[in-house]
Structure 1
Amino acid sequence: MCGICGVWEYGTTRGNITPGLLASMRDVMTHRGPDDAGELVFDEARGGFGFRRLSIIDLSEAGHQPMHGCTDRVWLVFNGEIYNHASLREGLEQRGHVYASRTDSETILHLYEERGLDFVQDIEGDYAIALWDADREQLVLARDRAGVKPLYFYHRNGLFIFASEIKAIVQHPAVTPEVNEEALYHYLTFVTTPAPQTLFRGIQKLPAGHMLIVDRSGKARISQYWDALPSASPKLTDSEHEANILKLLRDSIKKRMMADVPFGVFLSGGVDSSANVALMSELMTRPVRTFTVGFHDCEELNELESARAISKRFGTDHHEVMIGREEMQRFLPELVFHQDEPIADPVCVPLYYVSKLARDTGTIVVQVGEGSDELFGGYDWFRTYLQIQERFWRHAERFPVAVRRAGSVLAKPLIKKMLKKRMASELVRRLGAGESLFWGGAVVFDETMKSRVLSTEMRARYNGVSTYDVVRNYQEAIAAARPDADAAARMTYLELKLRLPELLLMRVDKITMATSVEARVPFLDHHLIEYAMNLPRELKVKGQTGKHILKRALESILPADVLYQPKRGFGAPVREWFRGAEGEKLMQQIMNSSLRERKFFDYSFISGLADEHRREVRDWSANLWCLLNLSVWYDRWIGRN
């Protein structure tokens, strides 16, 4: 994994790009690549690339970037890994391409020289790619299928800038950080911003599975080259599905062990991380390195004993770190720096310390378990929404909106039985408004709550705007392309578009990279994604059990007490963080932030939330963490600092 950036002043007659400018953008991301740095000025100083290297494949100087192919007409900067590069290389060399290194980076160049923009169809991996093609006079960007690697861009007034992190873009003197108010509106719901928006006005992120091509005229074309749509598949027995899933996961883990540096696994003792350990152990002659984080002030969230049991079973080289409120407070200023824009998931805090633990042991690459619950329906809320959809909502959707509105009042007691009172009220509103049931697995401020937390001025400016517009775009896409897709597939599709790439994978990338560690995600190999999307709902959720077919597939490698234990999830004691005297200090960061001067929020309402939380009337910790991240971010990037 690395950090990349670049600039192209495509419309100027005289170039102004200097190595110093590129270095200033590049070196604000030194944490992404502490091992090497490079820059390139091209197109008569109208353009340039910057690069920071975290050496993982071919540790020699031959892996230096920017890199060119067979000629110096095509140049590359690349962040990530291409897991099938060795097999692709064999064919490329047979067809006359000459390699100067053992890197996967060089394979991208030769593929592009041979296949043009179709090169992305051949590569398998996690990547953010930028190519300068001097003959075609075009800049090409690509983000991997699942969105494991981020890629941002700014395009205005004859200037195009891109980077792995937003902080590199705002280093350019033409870019002044300012709030994107519409993105802020959606952030409150998703605790991240949906692609292509970011919280920085004028700066966008390339969606997962997309390419962007900028030509000499400045015309920018964004196209989707891959989508996670279900497709027709042959009827198979359960045992055949189990064998196929296990093979796909085993192959994915093996591919993601590709490295010339030490690697390991983040281990919780749950199904997904334990599967990573078990399958990796099969392929190694030395103990797998495993890493676990615990809380010394919140025992109920600790997964130490489960992790130790798996470590003992598979003989791993196990490491642990304990953290608490003090470590969270110490890391908070760095958190908003490394996140670029708020990713209001408190898991970022323990994730940082377990990543640091790995790096301190000399481990550079880790495998993580993200994606499994989304693909196979592992969350409790996934099953709850599925039950509401199948038992009630799908029938109600057939009626005209006026009838649904009247019926929503009668439906409220039924929905309350399955959900908390506050969420039930929002679902009743959605039903009456003719909206869909499921908006994603992480919804904090729904439309009902936003009408209360936003100021009168902000509500007036965004009257008529709804986050449902973001959700509906994806729901309509799968409905049009796959009208027969079941409810589980539609929910997973939405997760693959919103929460997974822009919250879960973004937090993994930004926080592990803060410690110069590369995280790999075997459950999100695109072959496994495609297979899981084609599985019928009854193989994913059976009764009250999620991930049914995955657990069955893993029965030959993991014990039943691991597979069928109640799901705990990777968490953080954010509820406790906002209580007591120290919790009041966190609230002061919200109430005294320079963000308050913008009059986006009703701070008397926020104060009321804090008071109810402090008195344990209701748990508002997710909402308060969302506002805290936003406030500290604003002070760091835009406001008083």
Structure 2
Amino acid sequence: MNPLPTLYGLIGKTRHGIARIRDGLATLLPATFPAAADHRWHQMPEGVALWSPQAAVEGRSVLTWVGGLYASQTGPAPDLLPTLQRRGSAGLRDLAGEFALAHWDGDSGQLLLARDPLGQRHLFIREETDCYLICSALEPLLADPAFACELDYESAFNYLSFGMPLAGRTLARQISRLPAGHCLSGRPGQPLLSQRYFSPLSHDQQKVVDAPYQQQLIATLDDAITRRVVEGRQALLLSGGVDSSYIAGTVARRFGGERFDAYTIEFTDPGTHNEVDFAALVAKEAGIRHQPVPLGVADALKGLERVLQAAEPCSAWAAITHWHILGEIGSQSHQHLLSGLGADEVFGGYSRYLRHYRLLRLFDADWPHAAQIDAADAVLWNPQLTRSKHFPGVPRFFDDIALRQGLAEPYRGWNFAPLLATFYRECRQIKPEAHLFELMVAHECQHRIPDLLFTDFEPIGRELGIRTAYPFLDPAVVQQACALGASERFFVENGRWRNKKALREMAVGRVPEAVLRRSPMSYNAPFVIWMTDPAFGARVRSLLHESGLAHSGLVSTAWRNKIDQTVRSLASRRLPGQQKFAEQMWAFITLAGWYERWVERKLPASFGGAAPTAAHAEAGLVKV
């Protein structure tokens, strides 16, 4: 494994760039890439440079990577370099874990870049005139004093709409992101070509769960959990829901509860809902130590400032609570954490799934089947139908009305339908008979999980020295769960829709009945209540009204004032069903904070306006 916590590399893009790499990198090396003498880097005469690599076959095959792999169901974790030497990109399909890698094959003269199937690790490419700069973290590419960061307005539009940049891009022009489950290959002096090597869509899984298949699902999920348990004590995020409770019940049964410590956020501000009682019940039955972690508005303000320092903005305000709870977990010397994140996406936990399923089923009922084309495909031929019928993702901050009213010209006329259609066309090529839930789960696995959730949460854990494992996002679990049909996801009980039917049935006997039968309730962070605090509210409004982004012409002054006034009224009257305005405010202010730091470079710092971080210390540029 790469001894540096970050992967760094260069590849010549032109003949001139290749020559400059051969001549010693002096004029190409960014100030934020490691240059200290004790950081070994390997320079290839062909015009490729990789930092801290593993080498084999007399240096002709070179690998640098970050992350970690889990054992397979049949044996230990594979040795990555021999696997890539032997199988190339085909070897990526059998890997479970988190990784970003760069592999140079000297015999073929080809560089392979890859990112893990669900995108827990990131890989960024900054395109310069003569070379591609490669890094598994965004900050070294942004903080480079020679880089003049400009906002990618198309990605900003997508961020306000869905909480993430455009697929394959970042908010910074010139810097792209390798999509999850994809690899890039290329030779120096030639373009880098993208290829998908993983999809949650599979032809070998069942849509309906019978008794034998339920046992197979349980075995696959339990195996994924077991392979992520480490020796010694391990922390567990315990929300009191079915997902994390399933993990708690499983590890207690297999290893004994005394090896685990469970942590649950407890909001302390008046008027907030908490899951502490449910989590405590689960922990007690499993014999696991349980610790509530109180969080009030003063803690939230500290977390807000940490969130605003991120190299990528966090569109989920749960990032505030994540900073707080992981800080507590880290203070108790934990380095390994189990999380139930991903179960809602792959097993079906969101009402938005059900709404879009209904929309397409109604369209299908009215579609003239004599036309000899599937209704799901037919929608893709009409941009307006694509926009309204096909599932665009769970988070929707600026909806169509907000985009029309809030954005200035020409941005209010932009349309995400062509990109949505491109994704679903690819899915239909991979699996022509894929049903609607498979398509929606595939969308979440390609977009929301890697480029929103992991973007928001993973950098926090790495900065605090905590490695988080996500059993529900094991590739084998994802492919089996993705295939489940509507009847295995949602059901009606006592006149109300309930979710995750298959998972609830799998959990009988290891999750308390009270948790399985609990009424649906939102346990979201109380952002609106925090806005009533003078310090917290003032910090948010300064970004809303005074930031450079506020005056960039992207979002109108009238709309920003409307958001502010609406959120103020929500805080005083607690109106139900109006949280979307607070979410729109959050999306804008996190984007504004990113814009201030990286485009305007307003924060005091030593590198072009960016505060020195652990990445700079790692590179030997600052002392900590």
Which of the numbers 20, 45, 49 marks the counterpart of 1:14?
A: 20
Q: Structure 1 residues 433 and 42, CA, compared in 2 at 3 Å: closer, same or farther?
A: closer
Q: Provide the rounded CA distance (Å) in 1 between the counterparts of 2:601 and 2:146.
A: 20
Is the contact made by 1:268 and 1:304 (CA closer than 8 Å) also made in structure 2? yes
- Kindly indicate whether the alpha-carbon contact (under 8 Å) linking 1:152 and 1:206 is maintained by their aligned counterparts in 2: yes
- Helix, strand or coil for the counterpart of 1:170? helix
Q: Match for 1:25 among 13, 26, 33?
A: 33
Residue type at the aligned position of 2:293 = V
Question: Within 5 A, what are the aligned runs for 1:136-535?
Answer: 136-172=108-144, 174-231=146-203, 233=205, 238-257=210-229, 259=230, 262-285=233-256, 286-298=258-270, 300-338=272-310, 340-390=311-361, 392-396=362-366, 435-456=388-409, 458-459=411-412, 463=413, 465-535=414-484
The offset of 1:290, in angstroms, is: 1.4
Aligned to 2:59: 72
* Cα offset, 1:626, TM superposition: 0.5
Q: Structure 1: which amino acid aligns with 2:67?
A: G
Letter in 2 for 1:14: R
Amino acid at match of 2:586: W
Instruction: Give 3-state SS (helix, strand or coil) of 2:108's partner.
Output: coil
What number of residue pairs does the alignment pair up?
569
Deviates more, 1:469-478 or 1:78-87: 78-87
Where does structure 1 lack aligned partners over 5 or more consecutive residues? 29-36, 51-64, 90-103, 401-428
User: 1:180, 1:200 within 8 Å by CA — same for their partners in 2?
Assistant: yes
Give the Cα–Cα distance (whole angstroms) in 1 for the partners of residues 291 and 27 of structure 2. 42
Map of 1:639 onto structure 2:
600
Say if 1:82 and 1:123, in contact at 8 Å, map to a contact too.
Answer: yes
Q: Which amino acid is the alignment partner of residue 94 of structure 2?
A: D
Q: CA deviation at 1:261?
A: 6.7
- Kindly tell me: are residues 85 and 537 of structure 1, through their superposed partners in 2, closer, same or farther at Cα, counting changes over 3 Å? closer
2:586 maps to 1:625? yes
Q: Which moved more, 1:242-251 or 1:508-517?
A: 508-517
RMSD: 2.9
Distance in structure 1 (CA, Å) of the matches to 2:450 and 2:521: 22
Task: Provide the C-alpha distance between the structure 2 equivalents of 1:85 and 1:247, rounded to a whole number of angstroms.
Answer: 14
Deviations 1:575-608 (A, max 9, x none): 2233453424411222000223422220122111
Counterparts in 2 of 1:452 and 1:193: CA distance versus 1, 3 Å: same
Q: How much does 1:395 deviate?
A: 3.3
User: Whole-Å Cα distance in 2 between the matches of residues 497 and 398 of structure 1?
Assistant: 31
**Percent identity between the aligned chains?**
22
How far apart are 1:87 and its partner, in Å? 6.0
Q: Identify the residue that residue 414 of structure 1 maps to in structure 2.
A: none
Matched, 1:573 2:526: yes
- One-letter identity of the residue aligned with 2:63: L
* Per-residue CA distance 1:73-127 (angstroms, 9 max, x = gap): 22222222211379667xxxxxxxxxxxxxx6x8111112222232213322222
Q: Give 2:616's aligned residue.
A: none
Q: Does structure 2 retain, via aligned residues, the 8 Å contact 1:397–1:434?
A: no
SS at match of 1:75: strand
Structure 2: stretches of 5+ with no match in the other structure: 371-381, 603-624
> What is the CA distance between 1:260 and its match in structure 2?
5.8
Residues 183 and 397 of structure 1, relative CA distance in 2, 3 Å threshold = farther
Matches of 1:24 and 1:513 in 2, distance apart? Answer: 18
Q: Is the 8 A contact 2:386 2:417 kept in 1?
A: no
2:618 corresponds in structure 1 to: none
Instruction: Give the Cα separation in 1 of the matches to 2:232 and 2:350.
Output: 34
Shift in CA distance, 344/273, structure 1 to aligned 2, threshold 3 Å: same
The Cα shift of 1:614 comes to 0.8
What is the Cα deviation at residue 433 of structure 1?
7.8
| Corresponding residue of 1:54 | none
1:189-220 deviation digits (Å, cap 9, x = unpaired):
11111320110101111111100113122321
SS in 2 for 1:333: helix
1:110 is aligned to 2:64: no
SS in 2 for 1:283: helix
C-alpha distance in 2, partners of 1:375/1:191? 19
Give deviations 1:244-298, integer Å, cap 9, x for gaps: 11111110011112x4674321111111111111111223244312122221115
Partner amino acid for 1:43?
Answer: M
Q: What secondary structure is seen at the aligned counterpart in 2 of 1:24?
A: coil
The residue identity in structure 1 corresponding to 2:435 is D
**In structure 2, the residue corresponding to 1:558 is in which secondary structure?**
coil
SS at match of 1:456: coil
The more displaced of 377-386 and 576-585 is 576-585
CA distance in 2, matches of 1:386, 1:189: 21
CA distance in 2, matches of 1:298, 1:398: 55
Change (3 A) 1:398 1:483: farther
Larger mean CA deviation between 612-621 and 183-192 belongs to 612-621
